[in-house]
A = this chain, B = another copy of it.
Amino acid sequence: MTNTTRPALSPTPRSTLTRAKERGIADRAVLDAVLDAGLVCHLGVLLGGSPVVLPTVYGRDGDTLYLHGSTGAGNLRAAVGTEISVAVTHVDGLVYARSAMHFSMNFRSAVIRGEAVLVTDDAERDHALAVIVEHSAPGSWDRVRPPNRKEMAATMVVALDLTEASVKVRTGGPNDDADDIATGGVWAGVLPLRQVWGEPIPAGDLEPGIEVPAEVAARVCAVPVG
């Protein structure tokens, strides 16, 4: 956990952090925690010679990140066998400083690079889809109808190894210049930000008498998302 003067969410190059090294946290557990707390990732793929960034759902199993998409979706298909990047970011607060250039954000972020590997084994494909559903909706996979043959045929699963990943965390208050602190008179601090679940809204076509599953109801009262 650091508290530095670098711009918020500054970039990380290939595998070495040249900026904000102090925000790089080697602990693999932190990487896993950042990934596991996210709902969507941002996937970067090369399309027509230039990068495009797309939000998508994902799941993690050990050292593998799984993505899925329709076989008709050109972007994920185009990514197979190429180097891709995936980022997951949580914004935890806005840092108000005494000077404009010290405004910042508290955040946790993970950036992964690696080859998008098409998963072809049926058992692994099935497992990956369970991992993806359980990632965002824990407890749901065994409660609902599993994918049928037609759905599986229309679905592409891609695996990304987590070996080349960097994680950054910023916490704490502003890092104002000593002169600005000495001058005083300007409020500085942090405005925390969090995600919260609302009350479940039953589907319009849900028949009467079906209760909200315990694992869904529990999320509403639980700790904030992320």
Contact = CB atoms under 8 A, between A and B. Distances in A.
Given A50-B46, A51-B46, A51-B85, A98 B145 contact: yes
A75 B133 contact: no
Contact of A145 (B54, B69, B100, B195): B100
A48 B16 CA distance: 14
A62 interface: no
B201 A187 contact: no
Interface in A158-208: 173-174, 176, 180-181, 183-207
Listed from nearest, the 6 A-B pairs whose CB atoms lie closest are A50-B83, A11-B75, A192-B198, A51-B51, A44-B51, A42-B42
A1 interface: no
A80 interface: no
Given A85-B51, A212-B187, A70 B103 contact: no
A114 B164 CA distance: 27
A117 interface: no
How many copies make up the complex? Answer: 2
B186 A111 contact: no
Contacts of A199: 192
Contacts of A111: 52-54
Interface residue range, chain A: 35 or more
A85 B52 contact: yes
B203 A9 contact: no
A8 B57 contact: yes
Contact of A94 (B39, B68, B73, B173): B39
A216 B196 contact: no
A10 to B, nearest CB: 5
A86 interface: yes
Contacts of A147: 99-101
Given A9-B54, A53-B42, A76-B11, A198 B203 contact: no
A97 interface: yes
A125 interface: no
